């Protein structure tokens, strides 16, 4: 069977695999700042200027550039610049240009509302690999309710158009929540109209202030609704014949009986990938808060080695690693920790999600 688009074997993936097997850093995410011009309800990063100052303030562009040189020597190739809103980072353009000159392949996560002719010309003159723009809804009402930012939708669409006119690769990302669930189809339609690929995340980690609430009272979808939304996103993102193939492959993976999954970290995090937050703490990924090494003080290479070593100590659930639904389950040590408070916890939300997803796959196969 031909590999599906999400399972294709590219040079990039081969390089990632090789780096992981050598335990070398090739991919990183730099969270430049916690500041943002929007105030989204579900955000777990945003701080005000005064809160940021109280926590030590931002690192300077020069500090990030110095770190860039260390990353270049260590072999880092792919960097995601994120925040907060990265375009608000002081001297963003200088930092961006310097990182590009070092031979880094840059992707940017932005809300898109600050993009204007000047920004678009800047990115046209030295293109990023891609600009990921988060779309929070399909109209200004959604932006006002969820992000408390009047006019945000129109500004974002304007920004996407400016980039597309200049031939810059853009992708729309979104997260499905209870408040924008009904906008999903419209968001895909907007993407099609603009000629921009869309990806909607249906699994959201529990919000910072909602972890003790029952699922019904959290802003994310109930697990069964999220599973249904995921299958809908796959249906929207794949051609019909590939969608059927996807269903068959997934059911086959479950039927075959998954091999026992490792109990440690199973993704790139801490194997060939890292995240540095705005305070300069290097971690395996944006979700995990430990191991955490102060990279500006420790130096990149030493911080990487320490983080990798300590990340190996994180162990997930033995029950999950042997579960027949593991091939379609989204659990990992990071999500288990946020869902249950323990790396080896069995997250009820994800068990319900995976059970429903299997049921929906079976249903879709029989249609």
Partner 1 sequence: MKTNSEYMLREIAGEAVLIPTGSASQQLNGMIRLTDTAAFIWKQVDTAVDLEEIVARVRDEFDVDEEIARRDIYGFLHELYIRDIVQDIPEMDQGADNL
Residues making contact with partner 1 (CB under 8 A): 11, 14-16, 18-19, 22, 24, 26, 75, 77, 100-105, 124-127, 129, 167, 169, 272
Residue 126 C-beta: closest distance to partner 1, Å: 5
How far is 354 from 319, CA to CA, in rounded Å?
14
Write the CA distances from 238 to 154, 186, 233, integer angstroms.
28, 17, 9
Residue nearer to partner 1 on the CB measure, 100 or 161: 100
CB neighbours of 130 closer than 8 A, spacing ≥ 6? 107, 108, 169, 170, 171
Query: Which two three-digit tokens encode residue 39?
Result: 């105030």
Residue 278 C-beta: closest distance to partner 1, Å: 26
Residue nearer to partner 1 on the CB measure, 127 or 322: 127
Residue 173 C-beta: closest distance to partner 1, Å: 19
Is residue 26 within 8 A of residue 12, CB to CB? The reply is no
DSSP 8-state secondary structure symbol assigned to residue 41: T
In three-state secondary structure terms, 266 is coil
Residue 100 C-beta: closest distance to partner 1, Å: 5
For residue 105, whether the previous peptide bond is cis, meaning omega lies within 30 degrees of 0, is no
Residue 23 C-beta: closest distance to partner 1, Å: 11
Nearest residue to 273 via CA among 220, 332, 319, 230: 332
Residue 79 C-beta: closest distance to partner 1, Å: 12
Residue nearer to partner 1 on the CB measure, 127 or 199: 127
Residue nearer to partner 1 on the CB measure, 109 or 335: 109
Residue nearer to partner 1 on the CB measure, 68 or 174: 68
How far is 67 from 28, CA to CA, in rounded Å?
12
Residue 114 C-beta: closest distance to partner 1, Å: 22
Residue 247 C-beta: closest distance to partner 1, Å: 31
Residue nearer to partner 1 on the CB measure, 130 or 326: 130
**Which residues is 199 bridged to in the sheet?**
173
Q: Where are the alpha helices (DSSP H) in 256-284?
A: none
Residue nearer to partner 1 on the CB measure, 17 or 322: 17
In sequence order, what E strands does 254-339 have?
A: 273-276, 281-283, 293-294
Residue nearer to partner 1 on the CB measure, 13 or 141: 13
Residue nearer to partner 1 on the CB measure, 35 or 67: 67
Is residue 159 within 8 A of residue 133, CB to CB? The reply is yes
Residue nearer to partner 1 on the CB measure, 16 or 81: 16
Write the CA distances from 99 to 102, 106, 304, 332, 334, integer angstroms.
5, 8, 19, 31, 29
CB neighbours of 100 closer than 8 A, spacing ≥ 6? 106, 126
Q: Where are the alpha helices (DSSP H) in 57-177?
A: 61-74, 92-101, 117-125, 140-147, 152-165
Residue 22 C-beta: closest distance to partner 1, Å: 7
Residue 84 C-beta: closest distance to partner 1, Å: 25
Is residue 300 within 8 A of residue 67, CB to CB? The reply is yes
Q: Which helix (H) or strand (E) holds 35?
A: none
The two beta strands, 78-82 and 105-110, are: parallel
């Amino acid at each position: 069977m031909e590999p599906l688009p999400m399972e294709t074997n590219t040079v990039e993936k081969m390089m990632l695999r090789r780096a992981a097997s050598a335990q070398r850093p090739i991919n990183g995410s730099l969270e430049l700042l916690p500041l943002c011009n929007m105030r989204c309800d579900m955000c777990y990063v945003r701080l005000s200027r005064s809160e940021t100052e109280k926590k030590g303030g931002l690192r300077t562009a020069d500090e990030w550039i110095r770190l860039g040189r260390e990353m270049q020597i260590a072999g880092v190739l792919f960097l995601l610049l994120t925040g907060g809103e990265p375009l608000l980072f002081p001297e963003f353009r200088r930092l961006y240009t310097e990182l590009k000159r070092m031979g880094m392949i840059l992707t940017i996560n932005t809300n898109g509302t600050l993009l204007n002719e000047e920004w678009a010309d800047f990115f046209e003159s030295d293109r990023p690999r891609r600009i990921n723009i988060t779309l929070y809804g399909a109209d200004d009402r959604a932006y006002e309710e969820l992000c408390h930012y009047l006019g945000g939708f129109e500004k974002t669409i304007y920004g996407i158009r400016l980039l597309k006119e200049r031939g810059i690769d853009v992708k729309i990302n979104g997260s499905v929540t209870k408040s924008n669930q009904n906008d999903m189809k419209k968001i895909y339609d907007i993407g099609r109209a603009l000629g921009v690929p869309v990806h909607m995340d249906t699994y959201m980690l529990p919000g910072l202030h909602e972890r003790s609430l029952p699922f019904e009272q959290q802003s994310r979808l109930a697990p069964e609704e999220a599973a249904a939304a995921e299958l809908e996103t796959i249906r929207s993102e794949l051609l019909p014949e590939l969608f059927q193939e996807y269903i068959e492959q997934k059911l086959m993976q479950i039927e075959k009986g998954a091999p026992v999954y490792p109990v440690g970290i199973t993704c790139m995090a801490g194997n060939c990938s890292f995240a540095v937050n705005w305070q300069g703490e290097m971690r395996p990924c944006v979700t995990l808060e430990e191991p955490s090494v102060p990279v500006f003080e420790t130096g990149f290479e030493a911080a990487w080695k320490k983080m990798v070593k300590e990340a190996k100590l994180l162990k997930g659930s033995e029950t999950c690693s042997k579960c027949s639904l593991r091939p379609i389950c989204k659990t990992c040590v990071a999500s288990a920790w946020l869902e249950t408070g323990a790396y080896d916890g069995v997250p009820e939300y994800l068990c319900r999600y995976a059970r429903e997803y299997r049921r929906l796959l079976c249903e879709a196969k029989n249609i």
